[in-house]
Structure 1
């Protein structure tokens, strides 16, 4: 039935039928690409915030945000108009379509008639996140519209979009900057047995907001804050394990005490082939939605360090 309605809706969008107001047409329109037809409605969720800009979203392994969901779409009057538009196109396909179109239309009216006195976008349509997983979810979920009412329930995994879902969607859209590494001594060259300071540029918190415009209750905000740093020397021989501060790795300043920074002390010279050093920065992620725990983010950057032997001259 969904594929049949999709084809009919596509034909509707290509016809000269213009008597209905614009609200009768679902936001999906009908471009003929097999997806953007009237039965399919465009995703209304919007994303904004400092953490939603630039780069690729930082999505942890095994994190599975919602891929398709029901969103508020039509009032009672708009739902009738949508059904009328589908019926009109269907009945004009041929004589054999007259009865199926009529029966389908009457069935829709019977389902929505008890809600004629209710206001607001009480009929919700299925949409997806625009990914292959979203399309699979959309095609395997029935029905493609439901009555939700003025106060949507907050039931886990019911596919009715709510703040919990929006918090997960916001997390799936979080981008994080790569760590900016500053080595001291400068130039990425240090010496055996001395502290090679590793500074990681301090980053400001980043936020992502996921919301449905026009629906104040459909809103979630997440905030990511950098919390800790891991230094990996990729198997190089060390005199001591990397020294890392819980609050991060400040850039070296003249006179700085070794207890106030992050450093690595190499045991052997790199012998012309630099050591690789990788910094992984972890970001904790919180949300304003009660009861939702979000996975942290983790981003890494690498640099190279040349380690020389300290040479000394002895005069007799």
Structure 2
């Protein structure tokens, strides 16, 4: 019998769905979860500041933000390539009773037409899954599509158009559902949730740089500490942790009349920090990271931009060796005042 899908691309979550005592798995065990997690069956997604340690999307995927970046100026990384996290995915949504409770009221009001409803009943009631597969209650779930929060309206959000399908406990999702939730898919979803700290660099001189004298720039260890987000599906006992580690800082002085230090403008991570703090006695040294301005900013400032590249990888259920994901970048601008060196002739 041909597959028949309801006309709704993404079905709303039935009240109480996924808040179940059974926890089937097609990979891994409950011990695969990382961190102190609370299994949440529904609720609002955490804000971008990382506030709150655990939250959920529509109910299937739970995020642990306890090791994520936080603060008002923290933000999401942008992939260095054209790669983007998935805009939709398939995951468990209904028990047999819950799917019945969802579909029968739709058929009762004939909102989708008799012919359509008849095909639906033939598939979910009289076909391969009698009475919504009631006999397999507790032995599997009906899976449906979810749209990743924040990606609504994007073309990719409509890619998950497969009809609601059944997956037995212990079995992998069907091959014709490539967006089905897996540890790798969880890692990609977690990528979109990663928040990294602000890249506002520390500068010396702090108040105003001087023409033709190097300005030291650095980020302390706390500014470049690794961050991570864990995504899990409690019903399936699978999880994945996506981790971002600082790699190098690119400095753009905000004017062509400047030289970066080093000349490439890329300052690597060394001994847990980027650059080196200025201290007394270093006036005659060349900073490992910084910029030399060749002219004054006059009555304005130069918009120095610092962009940090983060190396990103994931591990998860059944995957212990770190797997690479595209590098991420996050940057910020800060105003720099540059003054001429004042001298007095006597």
TM-score past 0.5 threshold: yes
Q: Deviations over 1:141-187 (max 9, x none)?
A: 43331122222259697121111111111111122222132221231
Q: 1:91: Cα distance to partner? A: 4.2
Q: Deviations over 1:26-76 (max 9, x none)?
A: x99xxxxxxxxxxxx9342122223265554333362321112211234xx
2: distance between equivalents of 1:100 and 1:274?
65
Per the alignment, residue 108 of structure 1 pairs with: 124
1: distance between equivalents of 2:290 and 2:102?
69
Per the alignment, residue 58 of structure 1 pairs with: 77
Instruction: Show structure 1 runs of 5+ residues with no match.
Output: 14-20, 29-40
Q: Deviations over 1:253-290 (max 9, x none)?
A: 22347356423223334444433322222222121155
SS in 1 for 2:197: coil
Indicate the larger mover: 198-207 or 101-110: 101-110
* Structure 1 contact 245–261 (Cα < 8 Å) conserved: yes
The structure in which a higher percent of residues are strand is 2
Q: Deviations over 1:122-159 (max 9, x none)?
A: 32122211345467556564333112222225969712
Indicate the larger mover: 252-261 or 226-235: 252-261
Per the alignment, residue 148 of structure 1 pairs with: 167
2: distance between equivalents of 1:5 and 1:178?
38
Superposition map of 1:61-100 within 5 A: 62-74=82-94, 78-80=95-97, 82-83=99-100, 86-87=103-104, 90-91=107-108
Per the alignment, residue 304 of structure 1 pairs with: 336
* Structure 1 contact 59–171 (Cα < 8 Å) conserved: no
1:250 and 2:271 matched: no
* Structure 1 contact 46–210 (Cα < 8 Å) conserved: yes
In structure 2, the CA distance between the partners of 1:182 and 1:88, relative to structure 1 (3 Å rule), is: closer
SS in 2 for 1:166: helix
In structure 2, the CA distance between the partners of 1:275 and 1:87, relative to structure 1 (3 Å rule), is: closer
2: distance between equivalents of 1:237 and 1:306?
11
RMSD of the alignment, in Å?
4.1
Q: Deviations over 1:209-263 (max 9, x none)?
A: 111223322x11111122211121233424x542364221232122347356423
Per the alignment, residue 165 of structure 1 pairs with: 185
In structure 2, the CA distance between the partners of 1:51 and 1:155, relative to structure 1 (3 Å rule), is: farther
SS in 2 for 1:210: strand
Higher relative contact order (CA 8 A, sep 6+): 2
Per the alignment, residue 183 of structure 1 pairs with: 203
1: distance between equivalents of 2:306 and 2:77?
16
* Structure 1 contact 24–82 (Cα < 8 Å) conserved: no
Per the alignment, residue 37 of structure 1 pairs with: none
Instruction: Show structure 2 runs of 5+ residues with no match.
Output: 20-40, 43-56
Of the three residues 236, 242, 251, the one matched with 1:222 is 242
2: distance between equivalents of 1:79 and 1:272?
70
1:48 and 2:75 matched: no
1: distance between equivalents of 2:298 and 2:122?
83
* Structure 2 contact 90–160 (Cα < 8 Å) conserved: no
* Structure 1 contact 180–201 (Cα < 8 Å) conserved: no
Per the alignment, residue 313 of structure 1 pairs with: 345
* Structure 1 contact 84–105 (Cα < 8 Å) conserved: no
Of the three residues 216, 230, 233, the one matched with 1:197 is 216
Length, aligned pairs only: 284
In structure 2, the CA distance between the partners of 1:231 and 1:142, relative to structure 1 (3 Å rule), is: closer
